[in-house]
Structure 1
């Protein structure tokens, strides 16, 4: 999947060391070809790992299982992008992206707070029963959850997380409606928009109108359930 994305050239030059100094604060933009991407689904196992309303409990105490990697590029037919998961297991979802030169660039979106404030991930489609609306905590939940920016500073609170690293659970309330066609979206937002996004907004079908910006990455895949 080939998509054009616009990123801050000042940030890129600082990262790759082309500039000897990053004191110049003037912004420049450059178009880069996003040649390929991956979504890595890794089960997070353990009795303490549980969804609760609009967040998870126990993720830090979970044991990581075998990852499933979905690859997105010009040579991968969409039919191959299938995530087969267990409905009652939480999954860590990691985004990886590369430009046409082969540079891994997903961390550019969260290099510091100023940069990360421009971006937010959404998971679209599925017609989910959300966990926040489930009487039994058996609904779907998608939670961006970075802990550190690239510069080493802490990511603080629900309004700062982006979704380059997220956690997801389908929930048994949604099993009967699978398989589901889903789309992982990374959206570049206008100034001030990210602070308006609540935890429960990740699956809103009106997110484009609600949060002004543009989608810079869209990854389509199918979600299937093991052992319905």
Structure 2
């Protein structure tokens, strides 16, 4: 009986310890990431320089594309066709093994979010500001409006990219590229305030902005007009 009691007590202690450890898990710990997802939902709006004007949800028929990734950040459903003439609301989701969403943990407050920024690297796209009056290049605009504590996200330097808006633009029509959605944590939280809207497409972001890639999701994009 004593042996059973000791065994039961040891098991109880072990389970309690595991429970406490689970409570301390952070989304930066890659061991708990089971899968990720990027949703591209067509919206209304217009391109202007390095950002969009008049963004609004689109009613009726619209493009809706989901890209699923495994725990290694590898796309599970092939390449993605995006219409270069359309603007997409781009939502990132991160899941643990229990299916709980973790992405908002990066935005709980300004103090937390100041260490993180998203890059969409590898496409070598023609960016919209370089197309002059044509306004037909690529734009990636992070656009969170509020932190988890309810305070407002103020200005372009505070946005992260968990929620963003994206267009390839007609100037990139026909392009095929392997791109990476990268959520990077900076060694110095002041780094984020120096990143401009046109810096999202750098292939050398890692050398420019010291830190660690917390999430890196790689997938192939084809810029093709949808019939």
TM-score bracket relative to the smaller structure: 0.7 to 0.9
Taking the TM superposition and a 5 Å limit, the aligned residue runs for 1:108-147 are: 108-135=105-132, 136-147=134-145
Q: Determine the structure 2 residue equivalent to 1:151.
A: 149
Q: Determine the structure 1 residue equivalent to 2:37.
A: 38
Q: Is the 8 A contact 1:71 1:81 kept in 2?
A: no
CA–CA separation in structure 2 for the residues paired with 1:114 and 1:77? 30
Residue segments in structure 1 that go unaligned for 5+ positions in a row? 1-12, 20-28
| 1:218 correspondence with 2:216 | yes
CA–CA separation in structure 2 for the residues paired with 1:78 and 1:149? 29
| 1:188 correspondence with 2:185 | yes
Larger Rg: 2
Q: Determine the structure 1 residue equivalent to 2:58.
A: 63
| 1:88 correspondence with 2:82 | no
Which secondary structure state, in structure 1, belongs to the residue aligned with residue 206 of structure 2? helix
CA–CA separation in structure 1 for the residues paired with 2:74 and 2:114? 33
Q: Is the 8 A contact 2:82 2:225 kept in 1?
A: no
Q: Is the 8 A contact 1:180 1:223 kept in 2?
A: yes
TM-score, normalization: structure 1? 0.80
Residue segments in structure 2 that go unaligned for 5+ positions in a row? 1-19
Question: How far apart are residue 31 of structure 1 and its match?
Answer: 6.0
CA–CA separation in structure 2 for the residues paired with 1:88 and 1:102? 34
Question: How far apart are residue 62 of structure 1 and its match?
Answer: 4.0
TM-score, normalization: structure 2? 0.80
Which secondary structure state, in structure 1, belongs to the residue aligned with residue 193 of structure 2? helix
Runs of 4+ in 1 over 6 A off after TM superposition: none
Q: Determine the structure 1 residue equivalent to 2:205.
A: 207
Question: How far apart are residue 215 of structure 1 and its match?
Answer: 0.5
Q: Determine the structure 1 residue equivalent to 2:69.
A: 72
Q: Determine the structure 2 residue equivalent to 1:51.
A: 47
CA–CA separation in structure 2 for the residues paired with 1:74 and 1:197? 28
User: Over the residues paired in the alignment, what is the CA RMSD in angstroms?
Assistant: 2.5
Q: Is the 8 A contact 1:88 1:169 kept in 2?
A: yes
Question: How far apart are residue 225 of structure 1 and its match?
Answer: 2.7
Which secondary structure state, in structure 2, belongs to the residue aligned with residue 159 of structure 1? coil
CA–CA separation in structure 2 for the residues paired with 1:62 and 1:34? 30
Q: Determine the structure 2 residue equivalent to 1:3.
A: none
Alignment CA distance shift 1:133-1:103 (3 Å): same
My pick for the range that moved more, 160-169 or 204-213, is 204-213
Taking the TM superposition and a 5 Å limit, the aligned residue runs for 1:167-186 are: 167-176=165-174, 178-186=175-183
